[in-house]
Amino acid sequence: EAGVAQSPRYKIIEKRQSVAFWCNPISGHATLYWYQQILGQGPKLLIQFQNNGVVDDSQLPKDRFSAERLKGVDSTLKIQPAKLEDSAVYLCASSLGLAGGNEQFFGPGTRLTVL
Amino acid sequence: QKEVEQNSGPLSVPEGAIASLNCTYSDRVSQSFFWYRQYSGKSPELIMSIYSNGDKEDGRFTAQLNKASQYVSLLIRDSQPSDSATYLCAVNPGDMRFGAGTRLTVKP
């Protein structure tokens, strides 16, 4: 069974530029999550999708971050414009969903450096 | 008070010893509890989930949950150098909340 796929693996941009990350969850997983992990901290949930609907985006900085999962499968997270403090690893995770349990499986992450 | 607190590390144990990792959480409605292992530069890997009070064993790993005390722990028996990593406690009262992690080093 293929795991969660993410791209790119690394990205370096200058502040005020925009960037987008892509995630493809495990096949059949209805729930998709985006996390931000700053060095030395645990992952922080940014947004949770159930199929193509948003379940929780309370910690997403909506003035600069946006995410979509239009067809209920893969998802894109965008930052525009980026700030220095956005430097982090962006992790995508998926789970079967409410009926199937909420054990989450993570992709390899995208390491973002904002200069 | 942080929502999920883990014992401050780093924790160092000799090879073959038992490593004990502790976690407390603040939200009493939490029903799902997880331990993830994260190697340096890698993403978190699920190693244990526990939903009911008591112990759950899987190989060398034992998770312990006490909802009344809002406490969950992970024991690693016969620790190996390959167990050296950061261990993340995660609690799900509706949305997943992670602790900051405890770095474990197992010395040969």
CB atoms within 10 A of CB A97: 16
Q: Is A45 on the interface with B (CB under 8 A)?
A: yes
Contacts of A105 in chain B (CB under 8 A): 46
Query: In the prediction, which pLDDT does B29 show?
Result: 85
Judge: B43–A106 Cβ closer than 8 Å, yes or no.
yes
Query: In angstroms, rounded to a whole number, what is the distance separating the alpha carbons of residues B83 and B19?
Result: 10
Judge: B4–A109 Cβ closer than 8 Å, yes or no.
no
Q: Give the pLDDT band (50/70/90) at residue A52.
A: confident
Q: Give the pLDDT band (50/70/90) at residue B35.
A: very high
Query: In the prediction, which pLDDT does B28 show?
Result: 85
A19-28, B24-33, B61-70: least confident range: B24-33
Judge: A43–B42 Cβ closer than 8 Å, yes or no.
no
pLDDT higher than 70, residue A77: yes
Contacts of B34 in chain A (CB under 8 A): 103-104
Give backbone dihedrals phi and psi of B91, rounded to 5 degrees, phi first: -130, 140
Q: How far is CA B68 from CA B50, B52, B72, in A?
A: 15, 11, 11
Q: Say if CB B10 and CB B106 are below 8 A apart.
A: no
Q: Which of A105, A109, A111 is nearest to A2 (CA)?
A: A105
pLDDT higher than 80, residue A1: no
The average confidence (pLDDT) of chain A is: 94
Q: Which of B43, B45, B98 is the best mutation test for A, with the most CBs of A within 10 A?
A: B43
B95: nearest CB among A41, A42, A45: A45
Query: In angstroms, rounded to a whole number, what is the distance separating the alpha carbons of residues A69 and A89?
Result: 20
- What percentage of chain A exceeds 90 in pLDDT? 86
pLDDT higher than 70, residue A99: no
B43: nearest CB among A40, A56, A108: A108
Written as six digits, the tokens of A81 are 């414009």
Query: In angstroms, rounded to a whole number, what is the distance separating the alpha carbons of residues B45 and A54?
Result: 25
A69-73, B15-19, B83-87: least confident range: A69-73
Residues recorded for chain A = 115
Query: In angstroms, rounded to a whole number, what is the distance separating the alpha carbons of residues A104 and A102?
Result: 6
Q: Between A99 and A105, where is the model more confident?
A: A105
Span B74-89, average pLDDT: 98
Judge: A42–B46 Cβ closer than 8 Å, yes or no.
no
Judge: B4–A106 Cβ closer than 8 Å, yes or no.
no
Judge: B96–A45 Cβ closer than 8 Å, yes or no.
yes
Query: In angstroms, rounded to a whole number, what is the distance separating the alpha carbons of residues B61 and B79?
Result: 10
pLDDT higher than 80, residue A85: yes
Query: In the prediction, which pLDDT does A100 show?
Result: 53
Query: In the prediction, which pLDDT does B9 show?
Result: 80
Contacts of B25 in chain A (CB under 8 A): none
Using the CB atoms, write b or e for B22-55: b if 16+ within 10 Å: bbbbeeeebebbbbbbbeeeebbebbbbbeeeee
Q: Is A56 on the interface with B (CB under 8 A)?
A: yes
Written as six digits, the tokens of A2 are 């293929």
Residue A83 per-residue DSSP state: -
